[in-house]
């Protein structure tokens, strides 16, 4: 079970001896890969739905393999190399690729190991065999959503400034927060390495000398939120990242991981043009 849906067969169930094609088999269209796996089986294993539901999707012309609509149930595909989309959204067809959301606690290093003995992400992953990458970084003291994957291309694109994936943070700062702070942050704050701009800003709570604010931006310079808010007179005492692109932290507890859903993975691919 990889958490991407309720129906999680693996490709090797031997109940249907026709599931793997013979290597010399005939191909009757471009998406019939010799030695491939039946398309409905790949879809079901990726968490799209039951095999019957997947057959319905294929029949309805909603499934594309390498850009070509496939309506034939018997089609065999190569989930390792072909790009499969349902309703235009790419599905995670490879069973060896994992996509996790992690709620990083404070005082955890964004790294997989540390020669100074500080806690790292690896301390929270149990005995997972995959070699995972963290997508971008959070400061040692910052908490919240961190994506982990062994999909190198996705990780690279998500962390790359040119794809401008928006991230949202909730910060605890000294209050009160003036009415025009949002406008100031949206106009741009001059920092020593250039101007930083917030896409969105709102005050979530104000109580006496403390305020909770939410800020969204699409860049990832080091300490960017802390520096911006300090620059406008509100140094951050606690910082939590709550979204990365389409993925939300939700109620994932600190130190816990969860598998992203098939829908979330499709949205992440779309966010970075994959
Ligand atoms: N901005 C910061 O200041 N710290 C983080 O960890 C992430 C964004």
Q: What is the pLDDT of residue 4?
A: 55
Summarize the confidence of residues 30-54 as an average pLDDT: 88
CA 210 to each of CA 25, 97, 105, 177, 223: distance values in angstroms, whole numbers, following the listed order: 69, 43, 22, 9, 21
CA 230 to each of CA 137, 156, 171, 235: distance values in angstroms, whole numbers, following the listed order: 20, 29, 11, 4
139 flagged as catalytic: yes
| Residue 223 near residue 139, CB atoms below 8 Å | yes
Q: What is the pLDDT of residue 154?
A: 93
Q: Which of 19, 66, 123, 139 is catalytic?
A: 139
Residue 139 beta carbon below 6 angstroms from any ligand 1 atom: yes
pLDDT band at 30 (very low <50, low <70, confident <90, very high): low
How far away, in angstroms, is 169 Cα from ligand 1 center?
A: 8
Q: Which of 222, 228, 232 to mutate to test the pocket of ligand 1 (most atoms within 8 A of CB)?
A: 222
Q: What is the pLDDT of residue 8?
A: 46
How far away, in angstroms, is 159 Cα from ligand 1 center?
A: 13
pLDDT band at 203 (very low <50, low <70, confident <90, very high): very high
Q: Return the percentage of the chain with pLDDT > 70, whole number.
A: 89
How far away, in angstroms, is 132 Cα from ligand 1 center?
A: 21
Residue 238 beta carbon below 6 angstroms from any ligand 1 atom: no
pLDDT band at 24 (very low <50, low <70, confident <90, very high): very low
**Please, where are the H alpha helices in 160-220?**
181-187
Tell which wins on pLDDT, 31 or 170: 170
Per-residue pLDDT for 18 more than 80? no
């Amino acid at each position: 079970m990889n958490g991407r849906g309720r129906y999680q067969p693996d490709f090797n169930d031997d109940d249907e001896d026709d599931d793997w094609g013979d290597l010399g088999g005939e191909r009757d269209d471009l998406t019939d890969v010799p030695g491939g796996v039946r398309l409905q089986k790949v879809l079901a294993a990726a968490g799209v739905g039951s095999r019957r539901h997947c057959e319905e999707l294929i029949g309805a012309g909603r499934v594309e393999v390498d850009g070509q609509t496939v309506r034939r149930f018997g089609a065999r595909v190569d989930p390792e190399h072909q790009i499969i989309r349902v309703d235009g959204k790419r599905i995670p067809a490879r069973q060896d690729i994992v996509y996790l959301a992690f709620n990083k606690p404070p005082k955890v290093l964004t790294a997989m190991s540390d020669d100074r003995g500080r806690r790292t992400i690896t301390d929270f992953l149990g005995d997972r065999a995959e070699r995972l990458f963290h997508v971008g970084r959070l400061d040692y003291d910052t908490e919240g959503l961190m994506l982990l994957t062994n999909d190198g291309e996705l990780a690279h694109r998500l962390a790359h400034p040119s794809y401008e994936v928006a991230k949202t943070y909730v910060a605890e700062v000294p209050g009160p927060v003036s009415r025009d702070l949002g406008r100031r942050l949206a106009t741009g704050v001059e920092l020593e390495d250039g101007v930083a701009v917030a896409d969105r800003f709102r005050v979530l709570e104000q109580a006496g000398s403390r305020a909770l604010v939410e800020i969204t931006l699409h860049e990832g310079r080091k300490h960017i939120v802390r520096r911006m808010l300090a620059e406008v007179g509100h140094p951050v005492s606690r910082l939590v990242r709550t979204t990365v692109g389409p993925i939300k932290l939700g109620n994932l507890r600190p130190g816990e991981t969860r598998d992203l859903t098939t829908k979330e993975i499709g949205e992440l691919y779309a966010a970075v043009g994959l």
